[in-house]
Chains A and B, each alone.
Chain A
Amino acid sequence: MDDRVILAVRDATFRYPGAERDALMGVSLEAREGEFHAVLGPNASGKTTLLRVALGALEPAAGAAEILGRPARSWPRRELARLVGVVPQREDNLFPQRVRETVLLGRYPHLSLWGAERPADHRAVTRALERCDVLHLADRWIWTLSGGEYQRVRLARALAQEPRLLVLDEPGISLDVRHEMELFELVRGLVDRARLAVIMITHHVNLAARFADRVLLLAEGHVAESGAPGDVLTRETVAQVFSWPVAIQEFAGRPQMVPLRRNQS
């Protein structure tokens, strides 16, 4: 077993209670150190479900999900949180907070029940803020931040956990070009320099193709294709999975998808 593999899902099948069909059918995924793994697919193709199975939040009916060789569901939550930093799609802040406070929450998996925060914790927070380029916002209230700044703060919180694996669920939604590019550059930098493993679910096929090392393309709960972006994102595959005709053009050695209009061939 490759000891750079942090998380591995093998042939997982899962159906939500009362659903008509399986949400996942025989899906496999591996997250390796120093690798940016993008998960793509149309709506309801099972991307978020895969995430939950991979992290042990859901039990697959068939197949296995393992983290560092142990079953994902057997991991105690706090221990898992010291290994995996997750930035979920939605976050609903109940009460106003400052940036530094909210990033500090990322240190909680390292804190004991009654113990106070130590200097090492504050240093980790500062480091995380620096890496995400939001240190200058540390004392701001989060409701004063722009969308892009807020996403970077959430990423900083996940980094404060000092994880080996970073999981992001659609982090680029509602971000404009600049902020989305900044986010992807940031993540790529973490993969390259800090050797983090990254799994990112995203809608943005083209950015995934530019920045990711591996792509998993899901369609209706099963794997359509998996591998390097150039191998996965072919015209036939993409058009079939997304049910829309596309052209594939190359840019900087990576495939870029161009959706066609109705009267084009």
Chain B
Amino acid sequence: MRWLILCLLGLFAVAAALAVGPAGVPLRELAGSGIVWDLRAPRAVLGFLVGGSLAVAGVGLQAVVRNPLADPFLLGLSGGAGLGAVVAIALDVSGPWAVPLAAFAGALLALVLVYRMGHVGGSGLDPRILLLGGVAVGAFAAAVTTAIVSLAEATALRNAFLWLWGGLSGASWDTVLVLAIYAPIPLVIIAAAARPLDLMTLGEEPARYLGADVEAVKRRVYVAASLLTAASVAVSGVIGFVGLIVPHVGRLVWGQRHRTLLPAAFLSGGTLLVLADTLARTVVAPRELPVGIVTALVGVPLFALLLRRWTIA
């Protein structure tokens, strides 16, 4: 029943995203309209993929880092991506893929840094160090980024910050294709870790005694979640709250078991982001709001509502 509602909601979100927009395309003409196929459709599909990826990354990370407040962007990836983008613009690298690739590379660099930091204590990945390391790397990257922007001469660099908060306005079928080919790999890696992740909510030692290869799972899920986040930032900038709130909403409605939680999170995150993007496009038309603001405005009250229901039950 819950699944049915979720799927219907998802379909509704995509349909609304296709039908609604400033160009006022009448319903009859939707299927043949260039506006719909070249602009709204890739944007809706990209929104769904990014929202779903961020939500799944959030679920995985919260289990690995053992912190329910973990958001995929807490790991320093957004700082790294911003730095990459700014460097690409400062060096005037040309080509439509220059900025996304540079942002992705920056995020990966941040990932490697934090990953190595996380191993500092010895054998395994220490979740607390991952978290602290992520915050530190993110802050450092942000500082370097600001320094570059303030020292450099191009006004384009100031707009780079806007890109970082830009959202889905750069969506195209090319971006969708790249993400659609890339994202399933880390998604499957996290899905395969569903059972060990369940065990890890008990703690690392109990999980080990119940048969989980804790170190391998931590590594795999952390890297996969980071790759998903890095790709999301590269195509759509920093969209907060989805990776933080959707996992919690999912747990309230679907429970703890990652087997059901992960697919539910993907669908919920995708739906949320597409709805939020449609609102971002229409609420202050002809202007657009940054979609991250809308995800917070929509996601937080929803979460509060569900929280009340759960604590009463």
A residues lining the B interface (CB < 8 Å)? 55, 57, 77-82, 84-86, 88, 90-97, 101-102, 105-106, 108-109, 111, 113-114, 116, 161
A84, A106, A109: residue with the most chain B Cβ atoms closer than 10 Å = A109
Measured between beta carbons, the chain A residues less than 8 angstroms from B62 are 94
Within the assembled complex, what's the spacing in Å between the Cα atoms of A116 and B63? 21
Q: Say yes or no: A108 contacts B251, CB within 8 Å.
A: no
Beta-carbon contacts of B245-258 to A below 8 Å, as 1s and 0s?
00000010001110
Q: Say yes or no: B198 contacts A108, CB within 8 Å.
A: yes
Measured between beta carbons, the chain B residues less than 8 angstroms from A95 are 68, 201, 251, 256
* A111 CB to nearest B CB, Å: 7
6 nearest A-B residue pairs (beta carbon): A81-B211, A78-B211, A86-B209, A109-B211, A92-B203, A94-B201
Q: Which residue of B lies closest to A113 (CB)?
A: B192
In the complex where A81-B210, A105-B210, A108-B211 touch, is A91 in contact with B203 (Cβ < 8 A)?
yes
Q: Say yes or no: A113 contacts B256, CB within 8 Å.
A: no
Contact of B210 among A90, A93, A106, A114 (CB under 8 A): A106
Within the assembled complex, what's the spacing in Å between the Cα atoms of A116 and B194? 12
Q: Say yes or no: B206 contacts A108, CB within 8 Å.
A: no
A-B residue pairs in contact (CB < 8 Å), sample of 7: A78-B211, A80-B211, A81-B211, A91-B203, A93-B202, A105-B210, A113-B192
Q: Say yes or no: B68 contacts A161, CB within 8 Å.
A: no
* B204 CB to nearest A CB, Å: 9
Chain A binding surface SS class: loop
Q: Say yes or no: B210 contacts A97, CB within 8 Å.
A: no
Contact of A91 among B63, B192, B206, B213 (CB under 8 A): B206
- Asked whether B220 is an interface residue with its Cβ less than 8 Å from the other chain, the reply is no
Within the assembled complex, what's the spacing in Å between the Cα atoms of A161 and B199? 13
Beta-carbon contacts of B180-213 to A below 8 Å, as 1s and 0s?
0000000000001001001101110110111111
Measured between beta carbons, the chain A residues less than 8 angstroms from B251 are 95
Q: Say yes or no: B208 contacts A105, CB within 8 Å.
A: no
Measured between beta carbons, the chain A residues less than 8 angstroms from B208 are 57, 77
Given A94-B202, A97-B256, list of 4 further CB < 8 A pairs? A81-B209, A82-B211, A94-B62, A108-B211
Of the four ranges (under 10, 10 to 19, 20 to 34, 35 or more), the interface on chain B belongs to 20 to 34
Beta-carbon contacts of B27-66 to A below 8 Å, as 1s and 0s?
0000000000000000000000000000000000011001
Q: Say yes or no: B66 contacts A94, CB within 8 Å.
A: yes
Measured between beta carbons, the chain A residues less than 8 angstroms from B210 are 81, 105-106, 108-109, 161
Within the assembled complex, what's the spacing in Å between the Cα atoms of A84 and B195? 19
Q: Say yes or no: A101 contacts B256, CB within 8 Å.
A: yes
A57, A88, A94: residue with the most chain B Cβ atoms closer than 10 Å = A94
In the complex where A101-B255, A111-B195 touch, is A94 in contact with B68 (Cβ < 8 A)?
yes
Contact of B206 among A79, A88, A96, A97 (CB under 8 A): A88
Q: Which residue of A lies closest to B204 (CB)?
A: A92
* B221 CB to nearest A CB, Å: 14
Measured between beta carbons, the chain A residues less than 8 angstroms from B206 are 86, 88, 91
Measured between beta carbons, the chain B residues less than 8 angstroms from A106 are 210
* A230 CB to nearest B CB, Å: 32
Within the assembled complex, what's the spacing in Å between the Cα atoms of A256 and B228? 61
A88, A95, A102: residue with the most chain B Cβ atoms closer than 10 Å = A95
Within the assembled complex, what's the spacing in Å between the Cα atoms of A106 and B212? 11
Q: Which residue of A lies closest to B214 (CB)?
A: A77
Within the assembled complex, what's the spacing in Å between the Cα atoms of A67 and B22? 70
Within the assembled complex, what's the spacing in Å between the Cα atoms of A79 and B211? 7
Measured between beta carbons, the chain A residues less than 8 angstroms from B195 are 108, 111, 113
Q: Say yes or no: A77 contacts B63, CB within 8 Å.
A: no
Within the assembled complex, what's the spacing in Å between the Cα atoms of A161 and B62? 26
Contact of B209 among A88, A92, A96, A101 (CB under 8 A): A88
Measured between beta carbons, the chain B residues less than 8 angstroms from A57 are 208
Q: Which residue of B lies closest to A79 (CB)?
A: B211
Within the assembled complex, what's the spacing in Å between the Cα atoms of A86 and B202? 13
* A232 CB to nearest B CB, Å: 28
B68, B195, B211, B259: residue with the most chain A Cβ atoms closer than 10 Å = B211
Measured between beta carbons, the chain B residues less than 8 angstroms from A90 are 203, 205
Within the assembled complex, what's the spacing in Å between the Cα atoms of A79 and B213? 12
* A50 CB to nearest B CB, Å: 15
Q: Say yes or no: B202 contacts A105, CB within 8 Å.
A: yes
Measured between beta carbons, the chain B residues less than 8 angstroms from A85 are 209
* A104 CB to nearest B CB, Å: 9
Q: Which residue of A lies closest to B192 (CB)?
A: A113
In the complex where A91-B202, A91-B203, A92-B203 touch, is A77 in contact with B211 (Cβ < 8 A)?
yes
Within the assembled complex, what's the spacing in Å between the Cα atoms of A113 and B194? 8
* A46 CB to nearest B CB, Å: 17
Q: Say yes or no: A92 contacts B211, CB within 8 Å.
A: no
Within the assembled complex, what's the spacing in Å between the Cα atoms of A86 and B208? 10
Measured between beta carbons, the chain B residues less than 8 angstroms from A86 are 206, 209
* A17 CB to nearest B CB, Å: 8
* B65 CB to nearest A CB, Å: 10
